[in-house]
Amino acid sequence: MFNVRSMRKLPFSMLTLAWIVIWTLTMLAQPILLWTRGQAALTIGMSWTVVVQAATVLVILAQAWGWKRTISLLALVTLLAYLAEFWGSQTGFPFGEYHYTDVLQPQWAGVPLLIPLAWWMMLPPSWGVARLIVGERGRLPVFVFVSALAFTAWDLFLDPQMAAWGFWIWEQPGPYFGIPWVNYLGWLLVSALVTALARPRDLPLAPLVAVYAITWLLQTIGQGFFWSQPGPAICGFLGMGGMLLWARMKT
């Protein structure tokens, strides 16, 4: 789909490919868990999917950068994401007024520990898409902005689905399938800030963009056909798909 030279020299190692396959299988297993084991098993399965995808992104970056640099970035992203979610759920800024329920465990100070991992599992793939769009020599502010757009496009899927499953609740539901628009401004702001502080370089583009594209495809199918959310499925398909198309046009 994408120009090979633009996807950087790092090929898919066997370890990277294995993790991507395992993560994809965990995603495909979600409807089966719902049909065979019910909602409680689905919640557990979804949690494990986040962990496996986060581990997949970790392995992808470690294969390119080494473990020391990768773990440092993991610590930075998850810490900033946790602080943003804690502040946001306590004050209503910048995402709007919401709170987490007790469904996702474990939690620390009212924030499920799974949430910072969810930021980690999709932010580097968004960086990969943004790097294809702005190029290797693209200015940092442009890269930061495009990364934030790519990351926030994913939330067109995520928030309506997670709110419908009762993982968090908005005090005043908004016009986007129950989600207030300010939430998306918050996502843009926080993801841009985290990206600006992380300043990622030498990204292994091929596997990161593959994770982004697989997420886009499976979220579209899942919400459109299994989770009875055709509206968010269409919007997410257009949002993330638009970012992938933009990247394709630039390569």
Average confidence score pLDDT of the chain: 92
Task: Give this prediction's pTM.
Answer: 0.93
Q: 94 preceded by cis ω (within 30°)?
A: yes
Whole-angstrom distance, CA of residue 50 vs CA of residue 118? 6
Q: Would you say 78 and 116 are in contact if contact means Cβ atoms under 8 Å apart?
A: yes
Nearest CA-CA partner of 46 in 111, 115, 108: 115
Q: How far apart are the first and last CA of the chain?
A: 10
Where is average pLDDT lowest: 30-34, 62-66, 234-238? 30-34
pLDDT of residue 39: 74
Is pLDDT of 5 > 60?
Answer: no
Residue 165 class from Cβ within 10 Å (0-12 exposed, 13-18 middle, 19+ buried)? Answer: middle
pLDDT digit string, tens, across residues 159-212: 999 999 999 999 999 999 999 999 999 999 999 999 999 999 999 999 999 999
Please tell me the distance from the alpha carbon of residue 164 to that of residue 147, in angstroms, as a whole number.
Answer: 27
Question: What's the whole-number mean pLDDT along residues 20-45?
Answer: 86
Between helix 114-134 and helix 205-221 the angle, nearest 10°, is 120
What does the block give as tokens for 86? 């804690």
42 in Cβ contact with 68 (< 8 Å): no
**For 137-166, what is each residue's pLDDT tens digit?**
879 999 999 999 999 999 999 999 999 999
Contact status, residue 98 vs residue 187, Cβ threshold 8 Å: no
Enumerate residues 6+ apart whose C-beta is below 8 A from 202. Answer: 8, 64, 65
pLDDT at 11 over 90: no
Tell me what the mean pLDDT of segment 31-40 comes to: 79
Count the neighbouring beta carbons within 10 Å of the beta carbon of residue 43: 18
